[in-house]
Amino acid sequence: MRKTITGTGGMLLIQTLKDAGVDYLFTNPGSAETGIFAALSEDQDQKLIVGKHEGLVAAMADGYHRISGKVGVVIAHVMGGSYQLAGQLFNAQVAGSSLLVIAGDWASELQDYRGPAPFPGLTQAESMRPITKDARAAYQVAANPAAITIATTRALREATTPPTGPVYLSISAELLLREGLEAQIGEAAGYQIERPGPARAATIEAIARRLGEAKCPVLMFGDDVWREGAQPEAVRLAETREAPAFSSRQIFANCPTRHPLYCGMYPASKEFERITGLKPDLIFLVGCQGVHGNIVEPFVIQIGPNPLLMGRHYPLDIAAQCELPETLRGITAALTRLHADKAATWPRQRGKVREFAKLLISREEDLVREHEHEAIVHPAVLEAHLAQVLPKNTLMVQESSTARTTLLPFAKDAMHWTRSGGGSLGFGVGASIGAKIAAGRERPVMLHLGDGALTYSAAGFWTMARYNTAVLTVISNNETYQVVRTNWAKEVPDSKMVHTGKYPGLFLDAPATDYAALARSQGVEGETVKTLKDLEPALKRGVDKTTRENRPYVIDVKVQREGIGADSTWYQDWKM
C-alpha cells in the first residue's frame, strides 16, 4: 500500500487526497494556494466545485459529506478568506460534519503582516481553532515539507473519528510551490480509525431491565442513528416497548416522522400527559449529541459513538460509547427476554401514545383545510402540496425555522431531510448543491428555505448553473424574519414593540426582491407564485424541470405570515 510520490508541495497534497479517495474539492480560489491549483491543473483527476463565497463553499462540502458519508474537502484562502468560512464552519462543528479545510499560509518570520494574513502575533491555525472539531483541531505546516502528507493524513483521520467534525490545516504557501519534494503515502486502514463496537453485554442487559421497568420510557433518536444506518433497529425497539419517540435539535430525520409512535419535539408536553395518562419517568438518548434544553425525566440513559456532549448539563445513570445497530438489536432482544411476562401488556397500556401521535397529524391536516381556499398560500397548504407533488425519494435540504414539515414523510427509506445544525444562515443553497453532487442525477434534491436565509447565499445559483446541479429551490417568502419576531414577542410580550406591532429591522420588503429574477441573472430558470391557484402547476413544472430535464429551477412562493405581529409591515422609513 505504501508508495513514494514526488513533486511540489501542492502535488504531494493532491496525491495524498486522491489516495484517500477524495473525488471533489470545494473552493473559492486564492493566491496563497497557487501551488495547489497548479498541481490540480497537472493532475485533473479530482473535480473542482467553485463557489463565489467561502461560506457557500463550506456549506457545499457539508451537504456533500452528509449525503455521501465521505469527508468534504475545502480549499480555502489565507486568514481573510478563512474567516469568511466562520458561519458555515460553525454549523459543521455543531452538526459533527467531517470536513477538511486546507488553506495556504503566508506566515513569515521576517514580515509578520501581509494583506489578508493573520494579525501580528497570531497564527492562522490558532485563529480558526474555535470553529473546528472540539474547538482544537487546527494545524499548521510551516517549514517541513514532509509534514504535508503526514498532517493531511492525520487531519482526514481526525475528521472522521468520533467526535467527528471539521479540521483546519494551513500549509505554507512557499512549501506548496517548492519543487523536488518526496514523500511516502498509502495505508491499508484507508485513512480512518475503526469506530467503537457494541456495548458490553452487562450494559445492554442493564439498559433493557430499566426500559422494561419504567412506566413511560421516552426515546430520542439522534443523528448518529442516521449516520450508522440504525433507524430500523431504533424503530424496532420503539415498537417492542410501545415507547413514544421525540426529537430535539437534529440535522436528520432520525425517527420516521409519520411513524405512529413519533410524538414530535421534546420534551413531552402537558397535553401528551393529559391525553395518554402517562408521565415520562425515563429517557433513553440514542446517538444524540446532547439535548436542546433541559432533561426532565428522573432516569437518564445515553448511548452512541460520540461521547462529546453526553451528560454535559444533565446527569447520566447508564452511559456507553458504542456503535448503534448491533447494540440496539441486543437491547430489543434482552427486553423481550427479561420482560416476557409484561411485553404483551405494553401495547394496551400505551395505546393512547399512538392516539397522541395521530392527533399531531390530524391537527396539521385541519390547518390545511382551514386555509386551503385562501388566495395567498398558507405555509401548511404549501407543506401539503409538497407532500403530494414531490417524488417520494426526494432529498430535502431545509433552511427555514418556520416552514412546516409535519405532513412530509421523512424516513431512511423514503424522503430524506437535513438542516444546518448550528443555525448560522447561509447554509441552504450551498448544502443543496453538495447534496445533489453526492446523490447523483437520479435522486431528486429539493431546497426549502426562507427569503431571509436566501439573501445570505443567493450567489450560489451561479454554481448551480455552472455545474448543472438540478436542485428544485422553493422559497417560502414571507418578507420578514418571522422566527425572530415570534421569539421577541415571547420574550417581551408586554413591550411597546409588541403592542404597537413595530418590530425594528424585521420587515424585508420595501423594496421587494425578485428572487426568481435573481436566479435567472445567474443562469437558473425560475418563477414567482403569488396566489394559491398558481402553486400546484408551478411545483409540477419545477419537479419536471429538475427530474426530466435535469436542470436547476427556482420557485419563489409568497406565503402568509403567521403568529403574533404577522400583519406588521412597519419599518423605520428614513432615507439619506
pLDDT computed for residue 116 by the predictor: 75
pTM for the complete prediction?
A: 0.96
Residue range 307-317: average pLDDT? 90
Convert 39-64 to b/e letters by CB count within 10 Å (16 or more is b). bbeeeeeeeebbbebbbbbbbbbbbb
Residue range 26-42: average pLDDT? 95
Please write the tens of the pLDDT for every residue from 482-495: 999 999 999 999 99
Taking each continuous run of H as one helix and of E as one strand, the counts in the chain are: 24, 20
Cell numbers given for 386: 409538497
E strands, 30-177, in order: 47-50, 72-76, 99-105, 138-141, 167-172
Residue range 245-252: average pLDDT? 92
Q: What proportion of the chain, given as a percentage, has pLDDT over 90?
A: 84
Cell numbers given for 205: 442487559
pLDDT band at 121 (very low <50, low <70, confident <90, very high): confident
Please write the tens of the pLDDT for every residue from 499-517: 999 999 999 999 999 999 9
Lowest mean pLDDT among 70-74, 136-140, 379-383: 136-140
Quick check: 140 pLDDT over 70?
Answer: yes
- Contacts of residue 511, defined as CB under 8 A and 6 or more positions apart, other chains included, come to none
CA distance 439 to 427: 18
Q: Are 479 and 451 in contact (CB under 8 A)?
A: yes
pLDDT computed for residue 227 by the predictor: 95
Please write the tens of the pLDDT for every residue from 96-118: 999 999 999 987 665 566 677 77
Quick check: 197 pLDDT over 70?
Answer: yes
Q: Are 140 and 125 in contact (CB under 8 A)?
A: yes
In the sheet that 47-50 helps form, which strands lie side by side, from edge to edge? 47-50, 24-27, 72-76, 99-105, 167-172, 138-141
Residue range 230-253: average pLDDT? 95
Sign of CA dihedral 463, 556, 526, 548: positive
Phi, psi of 48 (to 5 degrees): -100, 130
Please write the tens of the pLDDT for every residue from 438-475: 999 999 999 999 999 999 999 999 999 999 999 999 99
pLDDT band at 164 (very low <50, low <70, confident <90, very high): very high
Residue range 140-145: average pLDDT? 90
Q: Please, which residues bridge with residue 507 across strands?
A: 480
pLDDT computed for residue 117 by the predictor: 74
Q: Are 458 and 521 in contact (CB under 8 A)?
A: no
pLDDT band at 135 (very low <50, low <70, confident <90, very high): confident
Please write the tens of the pLDDT for every residue from 61-95: 999 999 999 999 999 999 889 999 999 999 999 99
CA distances from 321 to 137, 163, 285, 376 (A): 21, 11, 12, 50
Higher pLDDT, residue 314 or 249: 314
What's the mean pLDDT when you consider all of the chain? 94
CA distance 220 to 268: 11
Sign of CA dihedral 493, 498, 503, 504: negative
CA 84 to chain centre: 19
Quick check: 387 pLDDT over 90?
Answer: yes
Q: For helices 54-68 and 428-439, give the axis angle rounded to 10 degrees.
A: 40
pLDDT computed for residue 309 by the predictor: 82
Please write the tens of the pLDDT for every residue from 143-161: 898 899 999 999 999 999 9
CA distance 217 to 353: 11
Cell numbers given for 441: 442525477
Q: Are 454 and 428 in contact (CB under 8 A)?
A: yes
CA distance 283 to 263: 14
